[in-house]
Structure 1
Amino acid sequence: MSDGVRRRGFLAAGTVAALGLLVADAPGHTGPGRRSGAYVGWPQTPTTLDAFARARGRRLDVVGEYLDGRDWDHLRNPGYLYDAYAGSAYARDLVLSLPLVPPGESLAEAADGAHERYWSELGAGLAAHGMGEVVVRPGWEANSPVNYPWSAVPDPAAYRAAFARCVRALRREAPALRSDFCVTVAVDGHAVALADVYPGDDVVDVVGVDVYDMRPEPSTPQERWDWYLSAPGGLDEVVAFARSRGKPLGVDEWAVASPSWGGGGDDPQFVERFVGWMDAVGVVHEIYNEVRYEQSDGRLFTGGANPRAAAAYSALVGRS
């Protein structure tokens, strides 16, 4: 399965033992001490993750991963996930993205509890395979109106209820799981108010954010960065919201982006600014998305598309 199908193209086809300590330390948790990791693309394995770690010069503390959301069979019993990670050094370090519904399924039915049994089965499976303490990210990028069938924009109440039911069902089988409520910045970040889609303090442990170096119209690196910070739904707003709920902030996905995707291409300034921002605000984890999509190549160490950004990343993140 390609990354386009697995992640951004979900409409077409269809992750920490130490987190409790990090949550307690969140206000002062900045700089190199944060958990740093990556998602390196489907099919991701400990071997491919180790290769990224070697390339950047630093081990991975946390790993992004995605469940195959084509249907409930793949969601409730992800044998491919257990085969890849059970017993590995990464088994407890996942930030695991969970599609709230497969394509064509009703978010309203999920909100009414029609699928809770599937989430309970997944929770039991994670616990049985040594993954009962990972971070789960149900229905990621809740505020995106375009990317996924679980978008909260058409029906915020249904999204809130479906997220809460998912987390509670998982926790019945794996009480140590932590949950990440994820929103996206840039082209999608203004579609709905964060407070309207927030599922509740009892079912959210981390407020997560996805950030790519892209915006709808051409711009300079400084103009793009100012927009990411101050636009409606931008980074300033996400930070303020997380702090208002007393939740730590996580960066679930970030990467440079190609001009064909509205991005700055090989832009070391974005890497420098973004790492500086993480240092300043304090995040519990950050996950670089080392992936080539159909529209964009954000890879740092594979393919050679972004050598200047790769050098900045290695200096600021990989060897810190």
Structure 2
Amino acid sequence: MAMPSEGADVPSRLGVYAGPGKTDAVNDSRTWLGRSQMDATDYLDPSENDGWNQYAAKYWGDWKKAGDGRQFVLGLPMLPKGGNFRDGLAGKYDSQFRDLADLLVRNGLADSVVRLGYEGNNKTIGAWQGTDDPAAYREMFRRVVTLLRAQTGTHFRFDYNMAVGTSGKVTSFETLYPGDSYVDIVGLNIYDVWWEHPDATPAQRWDHTLTTPMGVKEFKKFAATHTKPKSYPEWGLYGRGDAYMGGGDSPYFIDRMADLVKDSAYQAYFDFDWGGGTLDDYPKGKARYRLRFGG
């Protein structure tokens, strides 16, 4: 096992998700780490182009223009709220995706990384999950990429982004893959969890993440097979006490992730409480994160 190094040794792009539209929190994270480079992640739904998307695109566009070399990473549902694959493949939502692309271009976000249909192997992620109908997921992915690429001024890169683990009809990273011509990056979301294994040690939990079907080892092999750069768009610690059986305050997990992400195109800590806590809840892990990723 590689030993932790002294200070930052990670050449991949560093990012954070700090909450919807939270540009100040991203800047605070960069300052706290002493980094000149810090990318931002957020989520927009194509059905909200007349509301929230207008504000968020401006916030992130202004943030990007305020510093050199900044990158915005967009988590984009492959169906709008209330949508379904049948209507999507019939073209019902095409205009919403076109309008969102135009909105991003107008705000200087035309070169964003787009995590389209993120966590399609997660049955509870949203209407676009592909565990019931992989063929529809693949076809819709291709449709949306084609729509967004066709809009004037766009230079998006598309990240095929799964979670750790199989579900339903999704038994490998190939199951939902839309094809090399529609994907620029392949991504894997990793949290320090092992479902219903409360007594697992940090090392056992990490070994599970490495070796489980659709875990890290299979992901690396998949990326190499398709000659695609890797990303880790969401990763983080997770608290104990629910069925996810997180590892809590685990510097060990931080070290393993710091080693793992070295050869990735980009990676982002999910520093927003979706149920498992934030870095502030884990003082040991937070200190180790700063040691491994600080400037």
Question: What TM-score do the two structures reach when normalised by structure 2?
Answer: 0.88
Moved more, 134-143 or 83-92: 83-92
1:1-320 → structure 2 map (5 Å cutoff)? 31-45=9-23, 47-67=24-44, 69=45, 72-74=47-49, 78-89=53-64, 93-173=71-151, 174-186=153-165, 191-216=170-195, 217-218=197-198, 219-260=200-241, 261-279=244-262, 282-293=263-274, 295-297=275-277, 299-300=278-279, 304-319=280-295
* CA–CA separation in structure 1 for the residues paired with 2:76 and 2:29: 24
Structure 2 stretches lacking a partner, 5+ long: 1-8
* CA drift at 1:114: 2.5
* CA–CA separation in structure 2 for the residues paired with 1:156 and 1:122: 25
1:248 alignment partner AA: P
Classify 1:158/1:76 alpha carbon distance in 2 versus 1 (closer, same or farther; 3 Å).
farther
Task: Name the count of aligned residue pairs.
Answer: 280
* CA–CA separation in structure 1 for the residues paired with 2:177 and 2:51: 24
* CA drift at 1:75: 8.0
Classify 1:239/1:276 alpha carbon distance in 2 versus 1 (closer, same or farther; 3 Å).
same
* CA–CA separation in structure 2 for the residues paired with 1:77 and 1:204: 27
Contact 2:47 2:81 in 1 (8 A): no
* CA–CA separation in structure 2 for the residues paired with 1:310 and 1:251: 18
* CA–CA separation in structure 2 for the residues paired with 1:241 and 1:273: 20
SS for the counterpart of 1:243 is helix
Contact 1:34 1:286 in 2 (8 A): yes
* CA drift at 1:187: 7.9
* CA–CA separation in structure 2 for the residues paired with 1:90 and 1:140: 26
SS for the counterpart of 1:136 is strand
1:311 alignment partner AA: A
* CA–CA separation in structure 2 for the residues paired with 1:190 and 1:313: 36
Same amino acid, percent of matched pairs: 30
Q: What CA deviation, in whole Å up to 9, does each residue of 1:30-64 have, x standing for no partner?
A: x522100101113412x221111122222443211
* CA drift at 1:172: 1.0
Question: What TM-score do the two structures reach when normalised by structure 1?
Answer: 0.81
